[in-house]
C-alpha cells in the first residue's frame, strides 16, 4: 500500500513531468521549424520520437516516486524494445534509410531519377517507401532500404544536360561533308546551347557504315525535345546536303570462272 505522502509526492512529480513534457515538445517543435534543411516528414517523426521518450522517462520517474523498483521496469522496456526491433528488422531498416534520404536529400519530390532499375518522377519520399511515377503513369513504391543500397541517377539535379547521339553515313561521303551536315542540323535548333560548343567527330568504322558522334548541351527541361528533334533534323539535313545515310548490309560478289 502507498502512503498518503507517497501518493502526494507522486502526483506532484507527475504534474512536474507533464509541464516538462509540454515545454520540451513545444521547444522541439519551434527549433525544428527554424531548420530549413529538415523535411516536414522528418520533423514530424522527430517530434513523435521525442514525445515517446519523454513519456517513458516520466513513467519511470513517477514509478520511482511511488517507491516502485524501476530497475526491473527499465529492464522490461529494454527487453520489449529488443524483441520489437528483431521482429520488425526490415521495417526499421527502411525507417533509418528513409531518415537518411530525408537528411542527405539525393533527390526531392519532382526530380526525374533512376533507382534500382526503375525510372520515373519522384512523387513522395516517406519514412518507409519512396514512390515514383513512371513516364507511362505507373506508381512504383520502392523500399527505402533498396533505395539507399542502390545507385541513384538524378537527371534533374543539374540545370544543363548533354545529349549524346550517333549517326551513320556511307564510306563514300567525305568526313567534313558529313560533319558540316550534322552541324547544320544542330544550328537549326535554338534550344541547343552554344557553350559548351557542339561536338561532332568521326567515331568508328563499321562493316558498312562510318559512325559519327554528336554531343550537344541544352537546358535540362529541353532534353527529350532536343533529342528527338535532332534525330529528325539530321535526317533532313543529310537529304538537304546530299549525304547518303547508309545502313549495315553485305555485298555479295559472284565471280564466274
Here the CATH number for the domain that contains residue 219 is 3.30.70.100
- Could you say which of 62, 87, 112 is where a domain stops? 87
Same domain assignment for residues 48 and 63 = yes
Mean pLDDT value of segment 151-172: 93
- Could you say which of 44, 63, 87 is where a domain stops? 87
pLDDT above 90 for 182: yes
Same domain assignment for residues 150 and 165 = no
pLDDT of residue 203: 94
Full residue range of the structural domain in which residue 131 is found: 103-154
Same domain assignment for residues 169 and 149 = no
Mean predicted lDDT score pLDDT of the chain = 84
pLDDT digits (tens, 9 = 90+) for 128-141: 889 999 988 899 99
Mean pLDDT value of segment 226-231: 95
In angstroms, rounded to a whole number, what is the distance separating the alpha carbons of residues 123 and 109? 5
247 in a domain, yes or no?
no
Same domain assignment for residues 45 and 107 = no
State the total domains in the chain: 3
Q: Does the global pTM surpass 0.75?
A: no
Cα atoms found within 13 Å of the Cα of residue 85, Cβ hemisphere only: 7
Same domain assignment for residues 19 and 82 = yes
Planar angle of CA 139, 140, 144, nearest 5 degrees: 140
More confident residue, 95 or 181: 181
Confidence of residue 67 (pLDDT cuts 50, 70, 90): confident
Amino acid at each position: 500500500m502507498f502512503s498518503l505522502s507517497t501518493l502526494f509526492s507522486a502526483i506532484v512529480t507527475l504534474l512536474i513531468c507533464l509541464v516538462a513534457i509540454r515545454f520540451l515538445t513545444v521547444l522541439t517543435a519551434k527549433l525544428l521549424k527554424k531548420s530549413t534543411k529538415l523535411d516536414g516528414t522528418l520533423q514530424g517523426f522527430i517530434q513523435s520520437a521525442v514525445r515517446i521518450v519523454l513519456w517513458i522517462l516520466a513513467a519511470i520517474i513517477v514509478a520511482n516516486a511511488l517507491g516502485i523498483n524501476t530497475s526491473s521496469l527499465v529492464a522490461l522496456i529494454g527487453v520489449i524494445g529488443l524483441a520489437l526491433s528483431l521482429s520488425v528488422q526490415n521495417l526499421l531498416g527502411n525507417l533509418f534509410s528513409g531518415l537518411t534520404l530525408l537528411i542527405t536529400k539525393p533527390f526531392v519530390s519532382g526530380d526525374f531519377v533512376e533507382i534500382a532499375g526503375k525510372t520515373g518522377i519522384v512523387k513522395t519520399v516517406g519514412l518507409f517507401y519512396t514512390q515514383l511515377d513512371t513516364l507511362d503513369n505507373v506508381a512504383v513504391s520502392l523500399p527505402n532500404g533498396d533505395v539507399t543500397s542502390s545507385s541513384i541517377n538524378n537527371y534533374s539535379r543539374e540545370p544543363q544536360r548533354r545529349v549524346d547521339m550517333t549517326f551513320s553515313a556511307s564510306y563514300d561521303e567525305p568526313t567534313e561533308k558529313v560533319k558540316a551536315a550534322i552541324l547544320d542540323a544542330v544550328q537549326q535548333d535554338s534550344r541547343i546551347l552554344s557553350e559548351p560548343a557542339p561536338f561532332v567527330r568521326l567515331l568508328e568504322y563499321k562493316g558498312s557504315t562510318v559512325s559519327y558522334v554528336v554531343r550537344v548541351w541544352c537546358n535540362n527541361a529541353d532534353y527529350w525535345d532536343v533529342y528527338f528533334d535532332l534525330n529528325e533534323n539530321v535526317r533532313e539535313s543529310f537529304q538537304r546536303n546530299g549525304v547518303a545515310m547508309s545502313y549495315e548490309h553485305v555485298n555479295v560478289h559472284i565471280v564466274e570462272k
